[in-house]
Amino acid sequence: MNALSLTPCGLAIEDVVDVARNFTNVELSSEVLKRVKEARTTIDKAISDGKVVYGVNTGFGALSDKTISKKDLEKLQRNLILSHSAAVGEPLDTETVRALMLLRANTLSGGHSGISSETLELLVNMLNERIHPIVPGKGSVGASGDLAPLAHVALALIGEGKVQFKGKVMRSDEALKIAHLKPAKLGSKEGLALINGSQLITAIGALTVYDSENLSKASQIATALSLEALNGRVDAFDKRIHMVRPHKGQIAVAENVLKIVEGSQIVSESNHKRVQDAYSLRCSPQVIGASKDAIEYVRKVVEIEINSATDNPLIFAEDGDILSGGNFHGQPLAIAMDLLAISLCNIGNICERRVARLTDEKLSGGLPAFLVKKKSEEGVSSGFMIAQCTAASLTAENRCLSNPSSVNSIPTSANQEDHVSMGLTAARKAKETLRNAEYIVGIELLCAAQGLEFRDVEKAGRGTAEAYRTIRKVAPSLDEDAELAPLIEAVAGIIHKGEIVDNVEKIIGKLN
């Protein structure tokens, strides 16, 4: 099995996804081990020289003015882990824990944290052995980093707390013994090095932005399918319109939709009675394009954070300096995660409006009410009536979730930490907004596929025809009322796994 080698500033979002979801192994490069040892030497020298250094031989937070004697330095670090393991709520899922472990290992690999090579190697070995700490998901204010959740990872490193291993939940020391690993014995600064940073925000952010890029493409496929099902006009996607207002995302979405419907006889042969479509079709490049641009910005923020030193204090071995600062503050990520949630909410907003048009006989351009196929069943069958209600419910929920967290600072630690980012709340909300948006787009794809059958599937575009075929592999056409929940789950599933985007791109080429 190929392993991902950690090198300073060399990790990509795709690497995080690969390790988190595909269980790719991780190894430490010789350059990393060299830098880690140099930083550790700098810490040891500072202690032997009698220097007072925050987090090394002082208390933490509001107790930073308390100097700790040499004999208590190891106890200080152990107590830090125990006392900070205060997260609550449902445990994080496995892929998030794996991303969290990888990102913490990557940050420590930069050689600015003072971790020992033995402790870092244990963290990597636990990841490779699939010993996953049980980490409750709530309790971080996003400064000083994700202290409480990261403490639960560190707890497992010292043989305390619980982990998931070989399909069971067990004590960490038991799992380490089975895997022939020894718990870490933390030296000075090591406990702080393990928990001080924004890695949980970044872990959720990396996975969510990756999935958001996929959802953006899926929403454009849904737009194209609805364009055909609603007998829409392609005029609004003409490149000339978008070049005179040249936002990158807007141009790309217009090009993508035209690419997906290329070859469609439905849109080319339509005898339109209306001169223009409703905004949910006509303005989709402007709306989805704006979200696409925002998602691209969020990716850049997350990519920077993945390879950043977010510890405190930071060690600069080349100068022999140990500097206290605030790189643990999650504000850049908090704002980005809020923006991501807003962007995903807007994709869902416009998508739900198209679902409403597809199911409303007064707005759908000739489709039957709620897409019921049999004329004799009108009134007897409800068709996709409640699917639209579900989409509306999820859209309303996303509007609540997209209210920003990054403005909601609340003081902690006896007002020593008097401004915090609330970045983890923002990241968790963005993830939930994404999941809701996947369902909303899935409902649109179901409705648009049903609507397309009232036009002529054989006349669909190359991309829309492939989207239709992919949908029908998991969700059959409805000739009469049936339970909709399994169909919605199935289509949302092929969105989340990237199947519908992959299949369409195999036919028409990569979407922008």
The one catalytic residue in 54, 210, 439, 468 is 54
What 81-85 contacts at long range (C-beta under 8 Å, 24+ apart), as own/partner pairs, is: 81/151, 81/154, 81/155, 81/158, 81/160, 81/186, 81/191, 81/194, 81/195, 82/155, 82/160, 84/147, 84/148, 84/151, 84/195, 85/148, 85/151, 85/152, 85/154, 85/155, 85/160, 85/161
- Which residues lie closer than 8 Å to 433 by C-beta, 6 or more apart? 340, 341, 344, 345, 348, 398, 401, 402
Ramachandran quadrant class, 295 (left: phi over 0; alpha: psi -120 to 50; beta: rest): alpha
Single-letter code of the amino acid located at 391: A
Are 199 and 101 contacting, i.e. CB atoms less than 8 angstroms apart?
A: no
Which residues are registered as beta bridge partners of 25? 3
Are the beta carbons of 298 and 339 closer than 8 angstroms?
yes
3-state secondary structure of 90: strand
Give the H/E segment covering residue 108: helix 94-108
439 is catalytic: no
Question: Please, which residues bridge with residue 28 across strands?
Answer: 6
Q: Render 201-217 in DSSP notation, one character per residue.
A: HHHHHHHHHHHHHHHHH
Q: 314-316 and 25-28 as β-strands: parallel, antiparallel, unpaired?
A: unpaired
Catalytic sites, residue numbers? 54
